[in-house]
Amino acid sequence: MCYLLNFIRGHSRPFAVLLFSNSLAFSAEPLPLSTSYWNDPAFLNSFNGSYRIEARIEPTLTTEQRGLLVEVQTLMATGKRDSALAKLKSSPLTAKSPALTFNLGNLYFETGEIEQAAEAYQAALKDFPSFRRAHKNLALAHIRSDELEKALEHLTEAVRLGDSDGSTYGMLGFCRLTREEYASALQSYRLAQVTEPNVAEWKAGIAQCLQVLDAKDEAAALLDEVVRSRPTEASYAVLLANLRLDLGQPDLAAKALELPHRLGNLPPDPTLLLAELHLRADRKPAAEPVIASAFFSEQNPPTEAAILRLITTVSSLADWPLVKDLLGKAKQENPTRPLRLATASYLIASSENPAEGEKQLTALTQEDPTDGQAILALAQHLADTARPDAAALLLERAAADPSVAYEAHIALCRIQVSQSRYADALKSIDSALALNSTETLRTYREALQNALEASQ
């Protein structure tokens, strides 16, 4: 029986670590288009080219309308965009010409009046539905307004009408990525790279698709290129760090975050991730100033989720003074349930005040009888303090919560083995195996089966 108890202890996670996910990697949410893209030469060349008329497929101009457009372009050439905008707005010719209305939309777009730009493009399309450049630029306006579904409709129409510009395909890839259509997004991004091979946004988009499609090495190589070309933009470094973690390369993940941290560009949450990587690599002296920098700005502190994730790691290292300090930094007038759970767990695991910790856990389970994490934490404390029957009842409740069901079955098995209830323990292990069939757990089941047969 001692073997069985030692085995199950060796293959169940420590109490403090059970409270939160122990995964370091951030979720691979699509990166927004960086502000740099709108000033990128590739985008500016494409957008400025949209002022040119393509008479074969788009609305033509009368001699009078063309004269007005020449006047507007002359003003623009000398940097007088406000004057050009005023001239187009005031001219009665504009409302009669889809081409002039489109150019009015362009000027609105350039001056940052995105809503008015969208209205102008829509007016141009109402009069000339197959106006390809209007479809594309209306999509750009929708993207700037975060209306990606509307943008996708007009980008698709622009491509159908013959647009093969890199920026069109790149934007199409971005919209597909946000819809989690990764294979389609990848195809669009790669088409964008044909004519715009050096645009960082398209490389980063390809990398995000490849990460999801399980081609992480290629994705990381691409992001290395992006980070080298955009060293001051932390979002790419964070994405690269996430990929390195997925690849099981924590040292390279830390390296990716170091430069933006030193430049002062790393947001608070990834800063705490960097600290966590240092701590896991036994580099506490390097982690301490990083943690301090994450809390430097009272106006922009780390999120509670990031603090709790760091607390989980620090708890697994039994560095209780640092846990207490982090809990103090996260303290709120009306603390959330996760923060209360972390505090109660600290009081128990650190032996600072186990009775108070138990009291707080009990309150949490009474307030929400379905909170599997709180129930599991209380059950494990009861088991560790020689109250196995009460713990077993709680573990049966915790097993109903999918987020902790595996741990609950393992903990319940531990209690049942300690009471020589091998048949019940087998049922618990089978339930755990159904959720996560590992070689070690299968080996343990065999040993448990042998113990049951020997006891009969």
Query: If DSSP states are collapsed to H, E and C, what string results for the chain?
Result: CHHHHHHHHHCCCCCHHHHCCCCCCCCCCCCCCCCCHHHCHHHHHHHHHCCCCCCCCCCCCCHHHHHHHHHHHHHHHCCCHHHHHHHHHHCCCHHHCHHHHHHHHHHHHHCCCHHHHHHHHHHHHHHCCCCHHHHHHHHHHHHHCCCHHHHHHHHHHHHHCCCCCHHHHHHHHHHHHHCCCHHHHHHHHHHHHHHCCCCHHHHHHHHHHHHHCCCHHHHHHHHHHHHHHCCCCHHHHHHHHHHHHHCCCHHHHHHHHHHHHHHCCCCHHHHHHHHHHHHHCCCHHHHHHHHHHHCCCCCCCCCHHHHHHHHHHHHHCCCHHHHHHHHHHHCCCCCCHHHHHHHHHHHHHCCCCHHHHHHHHHHHHHHCCCCHHHHHHHHHHHHHCCCHHHHHHHHHHHCCCCCCHHHHHHHHHHHHHHCCCHHHHHHHHHHHHHHCCCHHHHHHHHHHHHHHHHHC
pLDDT of residue 44: 55
Q: Please list the residue range(s) of the chain that carry CATH number 1.25.40.10.
A: 1-14+338-456
Which region holds residue 181: left if phi is over 0, alpha if psi is between -120 and 50, else beta? beta
Amino acid at the residue 202? W
Which residues have a Cβ under 8 Å from the Cβ of 404 and sit 6 or more positions away?
A: 18, 372, 373, 375, 376, 398
CATH topology of domain 1-14+338-456: 1.25.40
pLDDT in tens, the chain (456 residues): 444 545 444 444 433 333 444 445 444 455 555 555 545 665 556 555 554 555 456 788 888 888 888 888 888 888 888 888 888 888 888 888 898 899 889 988 988 899 999 999 999 999 999 999 999 999 999 999 999 999 999 999 999 999 999 999 999 999 999 999 999 999 999 999 999 998 999 999 999 999 999 999 999 999 999 999 888 889 999 999 999 999 999 999 999 999 999 999 999 999 999 999 999 999 999 999 999 999 998 889 999 999 999 999 999 999 999 999 999 999 888 999 999 999 999 999 999 999 999 999 999 999 999 999 999 999 999 999 999 999 999 999 999 999 999 999 999 999 999 999 999 999 999 999 999 999 999 999 998 888 888 887
- The number of beta carbons lying within 10 Å of the beta carbon of residue 298 is 6
- Are the CB atoms for 242 and 28 separated by under 8 Å? yes
Its sign, for the CA torsion 100, 103, 109, 114, is positive
Which residues have a Cβ under 8 Å from the Cβ of 204 and sit 6 or more positions away?
A: 31, 222, 223, 226, 236, 239
For the chain, give the number of residues.
456
pLDDT of residue 24: 52
Q: Which residue has the tokens 């196995």?
A: 388
pTM: 0.76
pLDDT of residue 91: 86
pLDDT of residue 14: 36
Tokens of 211: 């990460």
Q: Which residue has the tokens 């697994």?
A: 316
The rounded distance, in Å, linking the Cα atoms of 207 and 154 is 25
pLDDT of residue 73: 84
